[in-house]
Amino acid sequence: MMNFDLTQLQWTRQPAAYTIADDVIEIVTAPHTDLWQRTYYHFRNDNAPVLQLQTAEPFFSFTVKTQFESKHRFDQCGIVLYLDSENWLKASIEYENERFQHLGSVVTNHGYSDWATTEIDAAVKSMWYRLSRRQDDFCIECSEDGVTFRQMRICHLWQGGGTVRFGIYACSPEESSFKATFTNLQLTECKWLAHNGQQPDEA
């Protein structure tokens, strides 16, 4: 296991209300904060608070547990790898209504976002995430118990080589505010093992 030093975390857009103590980070979201670029909605939102660690390590896994009091449409919190406004990825649960919410992920390359989701019960108020890096390819996983992780997606970031920044975020795109709590932050060797099937094509 590698050292995950909370004192080395850096804000991109610091929220008005937050606490960092021991292994617990709390963020209280502000209304009208979000991360999205262009696709389908045609708007660009780039004002969510992001707290990240920087590394040039090409192979690693980052794990965190999220707990949240979301209650309004699109309230969300989770993991993020934010390079700049047009190149990033995130995974979270986005509240929809009293019946269901969206467990999903967004990958943004060169200023265009996508959104891959599945519906889960609105009663879910906790989720673990694991982000793994193999150079400029990434794997996002989730878990209800922090033990058994399920793959959400594999993706590529065109600007994802070399030094990257990764960590956590929380936001409320509409007229809302809620508290997101992050615990059990761990940085380890890469849990996403090399592919053992078809061999790579020759260069």
Question: pLDDT tens, position by position, for the chain (203 residues)?
Answer: 566 788 899 999 999 999 999 889 999 999 999 999 999 999 999 999 999 999 999 999 999 999 999 999 999 999 999 999 999 999 999 999 999 999 999 999 999 999 999 999 999 999 999 999 999 999 999 999 999 999 999 999 999 999 999 999 999 999 999 999 999 999 999 999 999 888 888 76
pTM recorded for the entire structure = 0.95
Judging by beta carbons within 10 Å of its beta carbon (0-12, 13-18, 19+), is residue 115 exposed, middle or buried?
A: middle
CA distances from 179 to 2, 4, 149, 155, 201 (A): 28, 23, 25, 29, 47
6-188 has which fold? Jelly Rolls (2.60.120)
